[in-house]
Amino acid sequence: MASLSSFIGCSCPSGVFRAPINGGKVRACLSVDVQGPSSTKLQTGKLGCSSEEVIESERKLFVGTYARAPVVFSSGKGCKLYDLEGREYLDMAAGIAVNALGHGDPDWLQAVTEQANTVTHVSNLFHSIPQVELAKRLVAKSFADRVFFTNSGTEANEAAIKFARKFQRFSHPDAKESPPFEFIAFSNCFHGRTMGALALTSKEHYRAPFEPVMPGVTFLPYGDIEAAKNLILKGKIAAVFVEPIQGEGGIFSATKEFLLSLRNACDEAGTLLVFDEIQCGLGRSGHLWAHEAYGVYPDIMTLAKPLAGGLPVGAVLVTERIAAAINYGDHGSTFAGSPLVCNAAVAVVDKISDPEFLLSVSRKGEYMKNLLKRKLGENPHVKEVRGQGLIIGIELDVSASPLVDACRNSGLLILTAGQGNVVRLVPPLIITEQELEHAANVLLDCIPVLG
């Protein structure tokens, strides 16, 4: 089989010349040149191959599940990324809220390198020191008593679904009828793309091509206390899945009254409360766990994205009474919680859980929201700036896609959320105020692209 480099017809070196996009200056973005400013584009011969060649090869090789931006990144450092042509980008996307420590954090690199030189994978048929060390930290710093590791967020939610079903069966051993097996999720929620988690995801266009998905899921309006309470108290709900801060759904924060009412109703009915903190947890909100801001605690919490700083890992945190219902063989994974990813995650958790670090996230989040309100608040297309910590949304009255493209063309990476009308900012948690101000200035210069 031919190598990728021979297929492309070039050889890509590991190093890359780094050039700030447009000489490090922000340019007006009334029109978008997705190839970037021609004044800074380097000769492809200096690099061995171009982004265009890589992208064209991908079209011939990959299943077409992604609508990727026309950029090929070759390196990163801190909050900056660099493409094959050497252009520099300020990363306010962080790999979709994954790279909490940015790119190339020295402590993370040391943890990964040392573990890679020792042992990377043994499977869950054997014990692992890094896995135990990570579990100790997650238990010590949360409501939980026990941990189950997965490879991703959607896998964490799949495990939570199974654990909830098993707990209800365990708790109703003599029931003449089936124990509670249904689930509640909420409008604008996103819990994953595998079949169980997909059934809990509210957007119909995600589910429709794969119907029938798992039955027994009811979607209620996010924040509707009475609707949730009434359905929970009917006694048929195994678990309620809720994001304390919705990310994909548009950066909506729950109220304390809503989460507390869910907690009380679940306690009364014997229903489990599951907090999905895959995007909003692990420091993103300015608290280690987003639910800490509300003083309301779940029975189960699912984690993933930033946990291993860019390596694939997820976790399901549960109380002792949930764990008591789970037996050998009830669930499992070949790769989950390998020594390599767990050692990386230990480095991430140790750094993020520091109180001073969390305080800095909270302060920078307030700084950024105030900047955005001041700079963008008068624009007629901007409806609201919202969020907590460094998960921030800018709701528009039009599609955000032209703004995303324009910002990328000026060296700023941002995301969309909601119905495509929300700009989502989830930068590395190490970002500086100077970098945040630069991001706000790029947004200000590019927002005229909306008309």
pLDDT confidence of residue 427: 99
Residue 356, C-beta contacts closer than 8 angstroms, at least 6 positions apart: none
Report whether pLDDT(76) > 80: yes
String of DSSP letters for 145-177 = SEEEEESSHHHHHHHHHHHHHHHHHHH-TT-SS
> How large is the C-alpha radius of gyration of the chain?
23
Give the percent of the chain with pLDDT over 70. Answer: 89
Report whether pLDDT(344) > 60: yes
Report whether pLDDT(42) > 60: no
- Phi, psi for 243 (deg, rounded to 5): -95, 120
Report whether pLDDT(15) > 90: no
Report whether pLDDT(172) > 80: yes
What tens digit of pLDDT does each residue of 355-366 get?
999 999 999 999
Report whether pLDDT(16) > 80: no
Buried b (16+ CB within 10 A) or exposed e, 170-198: bbeeeeeeebbbbbbbbebbbbbeeebbb
Distances (CA, A) of 58 to 3, 52, 76, 268: 13, 10, 21, 53
List 382's β-bridge partners, or say none.
Answer: 396
Count the alpha carbons within 13 Å of 197 in the hemisphere toward its beta carbon. 18
pLDDT confidence of residue 177: 82
pLDDT confidence of residue 178: 87
Report whether pLDDT(20) > 70: no
Mean pLDDT of the 360-389 span: 98
Q: How confident is the model at residue 92 (pLDDT cuts 50, 70, 90)?
A: very high
User: Which is more confidently placed, 41 or 414?
Assistant: 414
What does the mean pLDDT of the chain come to? Answer: 92
What tens digit of pLDDT does each residue of 241-252 get?
999 999 999 999
Q: Which domains does the chain have, with CATH numbers?
A: 4-91+356-450 (3.90.1150.10), 106-353 (3.40.640.10)
Q: Which of 9-23, 148-162, 202-216 has the lowest mean pLDDT?
A: 9-23
Mean pLDDT of the 80-109 span: 98
Exposed/middle/buried for residue 111 (C-beta within 10 Å: 0-12, 13-18, 19+):
buried
Mean pLDDT of the 145-165 span: 99
Report whether pLDDT(46) > 50: no
Residue 155, C-beta contacts closer than 8 angstroms, at least 6 positions apart: 192, 194, 304, 314, 333, 336
Mean pLDDT of the 189-205 span: 97
Report whether pLDDT(398) > 50: yes
Structural contact between residues 321 and 419, judged by C-beta atoms closer than 8 angstroms: no
Beta strands 87-91; 19-20: pairing state = parallel
pLDDT confidence of residue 26: 39
Report whether pLDDT(419) > 50: yes
Q: How confident is the model at residue 175 (pLDDT cuts 50, 70, 90)?
A: confident
pLDDT confidence of residue 29: 41
Give the percent of the chain with pLDDT over 90. Answer: 87
Mean pLDDT of the 263-282 span: 99
Predicted TM-score of the model (pTM): 0.91
Residue position matching structure tokens 């190490």 = 430
Report whether pLDDT(40) > 80: no
Report whether pLDDT(27) > 90: no
Structural contact between residues 317 and 143, judged by C-beta atoms closer than 8 angstroms: yes
- Phi, psi for 98 (deg, rounded to 5): -100, -50
Mean pLDDT of the 167-176 span: 89
Report whether pLDDT(31) > 70: no
Q: Which of 162-166, 203-207, 265-269 has the lowest mean pLDDT?
A: 203-207
Task: Give the Cα separation of 237 and 230 in Å (integer).
Answer: 11
List 182's β-bridge partners, or say none.
Answer: 237
Report whether pLDDT(158) > 80: yes
Tokens found for residue 194: 């595998």
pLDDT confidence of residue 10: 55
Q: Which of 50-59, 132-141, 265-274 has the lowest mean pLDDT?
A: 50-59
Mean pLDDT of the 314-319 span: 99
Report whether pLDDT(111) > 70: yes
Range among 20-24, 34-38, 157-161 with highest mean pLDDT value: 157-161
Report whether pLDDT(373) > 80: yes
Sign of CA dihedral 9, 11, 82, 120: positive
Q: How confident is the model at residue 48 (pLDDT cuts 50, 70, 90)?
A: low
3-state secondary structure of 236: coil
What tens digit of pLDDT does each residue of 59-75 get?
999 999 999 999 999 99
pLDDT confidence of residue 197: 98
Mean pLDDT of the 344-355 span: 99
